[in-house]
Amino acid sequence: MAILETLFGLDGKIALVTGASGGIGSAIARAYAEAGATVILNGTRREKLDALAAEIGLPDKTVIMPADLSTPETCKGLIAQIESELGRLDILVNNAGINLRKPAADFTEDDYRTILSVNLDGVFFLSQAAYPLMKKNGGGKILQIGSMTSYIGLGNVAVYGMTKSAIAQLSKTLAVEWAKDNIQVNCLCPGFIVTPLTEAGMMSDEKKVKWLLQRIPAHRFGVPDDLVSTALLLVSPASSYITGQLIAIDGGFLAGGSWDNP
């Protein structure tokens, strides 16, 4: 048990999880709190964050800080609030994101700007704002959340895919620049995960579901808890020599396919 606590325990750490009330964000936030971290739950809807904190059931390990992180000013403001109230930030999980599925030719400028402001601007400016605070306190961990579109092109998600591809490259660049400050930056890339948003969107389409289940070697969709172990690894002391990596949790989707799949 001692070696597990030494390598994977988060006692005394302060972790910020954006988009915490979503399926993936809530699973990660819960795991970090149970591993001993004080977890800042961020999102835009206070009532959802309150419900998540109640569900986690560790009031001394959860702090609620709602904020819309689509502008540099709000990103800086959130980090300033964390420094003022908690004194440090050890872990940042950039999980907040939005998607809009339509043909590339049909995207409006408003569609484009809205997705970029959340998925890319928020990630960059929040990481940038967190950097000096992490550096001052001797280092930290930044975990970006990518997707399958960090690797491949998928139809009807042109702008979302562009942002997730950019996040993959940003993760590598920040890892290179900030390694000297003992800050590790990695990108976790979920495969096709069942969440309330994907159930209402992609997974409500029988044709897409059939194609995906034929294509995924594990023959099932993922669930948020499938991501938890890797999300914990990448912010724990066990990953002190892992940085700049894209790690896919996808049931084998990117590995390839087989003629023998049913």
Q: pLDDT tens digits for 107-125?
A: 999 999 999 999 999 999 9
In angstroms, the CA 145 to CA 127 distance is: 13
Structure tokens at 164: 């997730």
Report the alpha-carbon angle 3-142-242, nearest 5: 50
- pLDDT attached to residue 232: 98
Give the start-to-end residue ranges of the domains of the chain: 2-192+224-248
In the 8-state DSSP scheme, what is residue 119? I
pLDDT in tens, 161-188: 999 999 999 999 999 999 999 999 999 9
CB atoms under 10 Å from CB of 165, counted, come to 18
Q: Which residues are catalytic?
A: 160
Integer CA distances (angstroms), 2 to 8, 35, 90, in order? 10, 13, 22
Look at the pTM and tell me if it is higher than 0.85: yes
The pLDDT, as a whole number, for residue 5 is 77
C-beta neighbour count of 201 within 10 angstroms: 14
Sign of CA dihedral 28, 30, 31, 33: positive
Q: What is the pLDDT of residue 262?
A: 63
Phi, then psi, of 153 in degrees rounded to 5: -90, 135
Q: Crossing angle for the helix pair 109-116 and 158-178, nearest 10 degrees?
A: 30
pLDDT of residue 258: 80
Q: What confidence score (pLDDT) does residue 196 get?
A: 79
Contact indicator for 250, 222 with CB cutoff of 8 Å: yes
What distances in angstroms separate CA 241 from CA 135, 186, 203, 245, one per listed residue?
17, 11, 37, 11
* Helices then strands, each counted (H, E), the chain: 10, 7
CATH topology of domain 2-192+224-248: Rossmann fold (3.40.50)
Q: Which residues of the chain have pLDDT under 70?
A: 1, 261-262
List the one residue out of 186, 121, 185, 188 whose CA is nearest residue 148.
Answer: 188
Q: What is the pLDDT of residue 203?
A: 77
Give me the helices (H) in the chain, please: 2-8, 23-34, 46-56, 72-86, 109-116, 122-136, 158-178, 196-200, 206-215, 225-233
At 2 the pLDDT is 77
What does the pLDDT read at residue 204? Answer: 77
